[in-house]
Chains A and B, each alone.
Chain A
Amino acid sequence: ETGVTQTPRHLVMGMTNKKSLKCEQHLGHNAMYWYKQSAKKPLELMFVYSLEERVENNSVPSRFSPECPNSSHLFLHLHTLQPEDSALYLCASSQGTGTYEQYFGPGTRLTVT
């Protein structure tokens, strides 16, 4: 599938590192999302962008910094993470916010050591 892609697929980083996750959607959608998926926890919404403007910041720590340069690309910049931030980070896109199907990327499996 090529609708929503994410890179890298796996990432191991130390607590003092700075890294970025990248998401790209090829569906012509206007909304993009970052979710965190931990073991035995529901999908936790982190950020929502609509037409490149952030419309939701779900009380996410400042060590996570999103960037949406255009409607096709979404980044999640990471710095000074904690071990409890280890999780699967999923990007999604949809035609608009609200009652539209969300298309997920394959995710980035992040391990913080």
Chain B
Amino acid sequence: GENVEQHPSTLSVQEGDSAVIKCTYSDSASNYFPWYKQELGKRPQLIIDIRSNVGEKKDQRIAVTLNKTAKHFSLHITETQPEDSAVYFCAADNQGGKLIFGQGTELSVKP
């Protein structure tokens, strides 16, 4: 079955710097790769997703890249702000319509 590995587990950056979180997956049949943000004490919420027919997608300060050959995808946050501090989860779809989540990255943006 699908296995999703996420790195790093924690990431600390200065406000204004960029942050990059990387994920690898094992199932070459996966086609959908969402990223969820979970602020402290709140529910996970989708922030961006990418499908296998594109290599990059951008939404303001957030971008996601996908390399299907290497089976990895990354989340890029530019000009980080304190409100970006949260746990970020990557995921990949699997047979049967499941989403397999990575272990999560706790991002801390220091003012």
Interface residues of B (CB under 8 A from A): 4, 6, 31-32, 34, 42-46, 49, 51, 89, 93, 96-104
Q: How far in angstroms is the closest Cβ of chain B from A68? A: 15
Report chain B residues within 8 Å CB of A90: 43-44
22 contacts between A and B (CB under 8 A): A4-B43, A42-B4, A42-B6, A42-B89, A42-B102, A43-B89, A45-B99, A48-B96, A48-B97, A48-B98, A50-B97, A56-B96, A56-B98, A90-B43, A96-B97, A97-B98, A101-B46, A102-B46, A102-B99, A104-B45, A106-B43, A107-B43
A55 touches B97 (CB 8 A): yes
Q: Looking at chain B's contact residues, is the secondary structure mostly helix, strand, loop, or mixed?
A: strand
Given contacts A42-B104, A48-B96, list 16 more A-B pairs with CB under 8 A. Answer: A42-B4, A42-B6, A43-B89, A45-B99, A56-B96, A56-B98, A97-B96, A97-B98, A98-B97, A99-B32, A99-B51, A99-B93, A102-B99, A104-B45, A106-B42, A107-B43
